[in-house]
Amino acid sequence: MITAGEVIERIKKNLGVPWRDTTYRDTFKFGGPETVVTGIATTVFCSFDLVRRASAAGLNMIIPHEATYWSDRDDVAMVSGDALYKTKVDFMRERNIVVFRIHDHMHAQRPDFTYVGLARELGLTQYETAPGSHRFVVPDTTLGALAAQMTKQSGARALRVVGDPNAKVSRIQLGVGYASPPIHNAEVDVVVSGEQQEADGGLDSPAYVLDAATLGMAKGWIMLGHAISEEPGMHEMAQWIKGFVPEVPVQLVRAGEPFWAPK
Amino acid sequence: MAACTTEEVARPTMSTLSRREFTVFATSAAVAPFAARRLSAASISVQDAIDRIKKQIGVEWKSETVDGLKAGDPAMAVTGIVTTSIATLAVLQQAVKAGANLVVTAHPTFYSRGDARTPPAGRGGGAAASDAVFTAKDAFVTKNNVAIFRVSDHWRLRQPNPAAQSIATAMGWTKASNNDVTRFEIPAVSLDALASDVKKRLNVRGGIRIIGDPQLRVQRVGLLPGSTPLAAALKLLPEVDAIVAGEVREWESVEYARDQVTEKQKKALILVGRIVSEEAGMAACATWLKTFVPEVAVRHIAAGDPYWRPA
């Protein structure tokens, strides 16, 4: 028998970086340390559908990378009046679910599993210039061909691309989640990332790629979507936890891409 | 753009123009509307146009705002105005080609909220001066004397919301609920058909992304153009079948909509992208500008959907 609290203690012990208690992200979002764990599901988003599937599979501890209650701070006060919040919480209570988010410490860990998993999923691993550089030089291709290949590799239905499909590219910088590498780095042809603010951000903007394309420069941006970009690494996370939590099954249960696209 | 009406062309009266100027004015107006306006350009400066916008916008001008002049000399005579959702280099090129030298944009021109014309040093692995895109865009703006005015904060505060109203107009929706132009009753349609219609009418390419059952019957539609936080979806989605939005965060409204769908709440979210979602509104902005800047031609140039998707 193992409790959720014991699982978390083992995670903290094996992390390789000090645990920061100041994190508001990496905390219990439902249930508590005393909950007895029957199995662990790692996932990118603690979506309701995911919770139902994990529970049906006998996994009552969920370790999501992202939020449970639709905001980064999991601000319960903001949503507690919403009928959907009550339904979700009632379900989790009935099924004895415990949710502990791991975000900040996953990105602080080395290697950062989100990058490892995404590179693996996209078939990029062998092309990384140096471990942890998140920089890949692939055989010469076009932005269009690269985007088509990544669509196939990831199974994405609603991936988005900015730039000239015919642009000749080979140097890729990988980003995950909401952390996009600088698009204006002259050493980078294509940024492949998760989610990006479309305008009014700090600096990086899809408009930069539009203008680069107008100038005939080889520049591209492949936006996979937040879930697509960070879900694969939750498999690495599951494998890692399995190594020090042998008592219960541990596996990735995909929240999956939320979108579809019309023809 | 619409051809110049006689009234617009004739506005600079004979007394303000010599006979020779008038002949040139009248002749060229028929073939090159913007160029024709140059002769009367002395009648309005960039600053005049901005002052009129501030006066007409209907909301008090904020001291802290992203809106304002991003490039160009305020004293320069305006030859023509172009409105757009975002002043990409392609839009600026088209504007200059058409003879316009004042571009009114809803989004930043230089890739960030700060709209600085040079990149900050130390980012992107290179020195600030080495950025070819910033340099080329800045050089184009300088060389062609283009003035760029951003109107965003104040535009969206106008009532009724111009971006939402314009999307509804483009979609052919007329039945606003309680005169609220962010909510419409439409003839029942499947989500799949609605998504295709939105894609077509708002000129979306790869930027469109949907959450919800394609067979869902939609009758009540909510509109959230631009970029909106979770609070907006929390308020609107329970009261409509589907929301058509510009940009939302994927860990906020996207997940909320996904959970609504899981709970069989018969809900849907259609994302078209922030830039596309404000394009129809900026077309309406051109129409609005015409009403109080009659001296020069005003037209809208669509920046287009930045995104495409592999087949």
**Rounded-to-integer distance, Cα A2 and Cα B168, Å:** 56
Mean pLDDT across chain A, nearest whole number? 97
Chain A residue numbers touching B214 (CB-CB < 8 A): 260
Chain A residue numbers touching B260 (CB-CB < 8 A): 84
pLDDT at B118: 84
Nearest to A67 among B209, B251, B262 (CB): B251
Looking at the domain A4-109, which fold is it? 3.40.1390
Of B276, B226, B284, residue with least CA distance to B83: B284
Any idea which residue has 């510009």 for tokens?
B246
Classify burial at A159, counting beta carbons within 10 Å of its beta carbon; exposed 0-12, middle 13-18, buried 19 or more.
Answer: buried
Chain A residue numbers touching B134 (CB-CB < 8 A): 184
Contact B130 A225 (CB under 8 A): no
A195–B contact, CB cutoff 8 A: yes
A11-42: pLDDT as tens digits? 999 999 999 999 999 999 999 999 999 999 99
Structure tokens that stand for B94 in this block: 């088209």
Average pLDDT over every residue of B147-173:
97
Q: Domains in chain B, please, with CATH? A: 6-149 (3.40.1390.30), 162-274 (3.40.1390.30)
Chain B residue numbers touching A52 (CB-CB < 8 A): 262
pLDDT at B129: 53
B186-229: pLDDT as tens digits? 999 999 999 999 999 999 999 999 999 999 999 999 999 999 99
The CATH architecture to which A113-228 belongs is 3-Layer(aba) Sandwich (3.40)
Question: ipTM of this model?
Answer: 0.97
Q: How far is B107 from chain A (nearest CA, A)?
A: 7
CB contacts under 8 A, A 145-184 vs B, are 147-148, 151, 158-162, 165, 178, 182-184
Structure tokens that stand for B257 in this block: 């909509």
- Mutation test of the interface with chain B: which of A50, A200, A223, choosing the one with the most B Cβ atoms within 10 A? A200
Q: For chain A, give every domain's residue range.
A: 4-109, 113-228
Q: How far is A131 from chain B (nearest CA, A)?
A: 18
pLDDT at B130: 73
Phi, psi dihedral angles at A42 (to 5 degrees):
-95, 150
Contact between B305 and B275 under an 8 Å Cβ cutoff? The reply is: yes
A149-206: pLDDT as tens digits? 999 999 999 999 999 999 999 999 999 999 889 898 999 999 999 999 999 987 778 9
pLDDT at B122: 59
**Rounded-to-integer distance, Cα B251 and Cα B269, Å:** 14
The answer to whether the A4-109 and A113-228 domains have the same CATH topology is yes
b (16+ CB within 10 A) / e for B237-258? beebbbbbbbbbbbbbbbbbbb
**Residue B31 pLDDT > 90:** no
Chain A residue numbers touching B113 (CB-CB < 8 A): 200-202
pLDDT at B177: 93
B43-84: pLDDT as tens digits? 899 999 999 999 999 999 999 999 999 999 999 999 999 999
Name the 3-class secondary structure at B35.
helix
**Residue B244 pLDDT > 80:** yes
Inter-chain CB pairs, A–B, below 8 Å = 206
Whole-number percent of chain A with pLDDT over 70: 100
Chain A residue numbers touching B201 (CB-CB < 8 A): none
Q: Cα separations (Å) of B74 from B36, B91, B218, B297, B300?
A: 21, 21, 48, 18, 21
Structure tokens that stand for B97 in this block: 């080609």
pLDDT at B276: 98
pLDDT at B121: 67
Any idea which residue has 């062998």 for tokens?
A126
A104-155: pLDDT as tens digits? 999 999 999 999 999 999 999 999 999 999 999 999 999 999 999 999 999 9
pLDDT at A201: 84
